[in-house]
Amino acid sequence: MSTAAWSLRRLNAVSEAQIGELADVLVDCVEGGASVSFMHPLARERAMAFWRHIAEGIAERKRALLVAEDAIGICGTVQLMLELPENQPHRADVAKMLVHRRARRQGIGAALMRAVEDVARGCARTLLVLDTVTGGDAERLYQRLGWKRVGEIPRYALMPRGGFCSTTVFYRDLTAQ
């Protein structure tokens, strides 16, 4: 029997309650200084609007959404973006890997990445691409999990409280294992 205080699942539809929980994770990550598209402070309503838009893409099967849940609710998430040009049917992008600060350093990030790779295999996607802020916790995580580091793009984005950050591009060839 598993004694983990959290579990993972794929959501094929996203309820309004789940949108609220996903918004709380996003707001917490921005509050914690993560460079994940938004500037600080991120209002909960705005975060909910973002997730409502993502939920439409989930319903249309343009994206796959994985969540980790603990006793409080959703505490982590990652997405696989499946809608790509017709000349890239074997590829997908990994995006919005977020773990609430209350749930970090328990292996949830690593488990979400392994699970998203399994979803990709299930969708016959054999090449995955992502980018992440250079020097952050996520860069270490992807390297630890065997993702190949391509290189850095300087001045790619702003940190949530201002100041440029570089991004590091990674890929994972799922035919290689």
Ligand X SMILES: CC(C)(COP(=O)(O)OP(=O)(O)OC[C@H]1O[C@@H](n2cnc3c(N)ncnc32)[C@H](O)[C@@H]1OP(=O)(O)O)[C@@H](O)C(=O)NCCC(=O)NCCS
> What is the smallest separation between the CB atom of 117 and ligand X, expressed in angstroms?
14
Q: By CB under 6 A, is residue 105 in contact with ligand X?
A: yes
Do the Cβ atoms of 61 and 4 come closer than 8 Å?
Answer: no
* C-alpha R_g of the chain: 16
Q: At what angle do helices 44-59 and 16-31 cross, to 10 degrees?
A: 130
Q: By CB under 6 A, is residue 99 in contact with ligand X?
A: yes
> What is the smallest separation between the CB atom of 159 and ligand X, expressed in angstroms?
11
Rounded CA gap, 45 and 82, in Å? 26
Q: By CB under 6 A, is residue 29 in contact with ligand X?
A: yes
Interface residue with ligand X, options 65, 80, 98, 128 (CB under 6 A): 98
Alpha-carbon 175 to chain mean position: 22
Q: Select 29 or 128, whichever has its Cβ closest to ligand X.
A: 29
Q: By CB under 6 A, is residue 108 in contact with ligand X?
A: yes
Choose one: 44-52, 53-61, 137-145, 156-164; the region binding ligand X (CB under 6 A).
137-145
Q: By CB under 6 A, is residue 116 in contact with ligand X?
A: no
Rounded CA gap, 34 and 145, in Å? 20
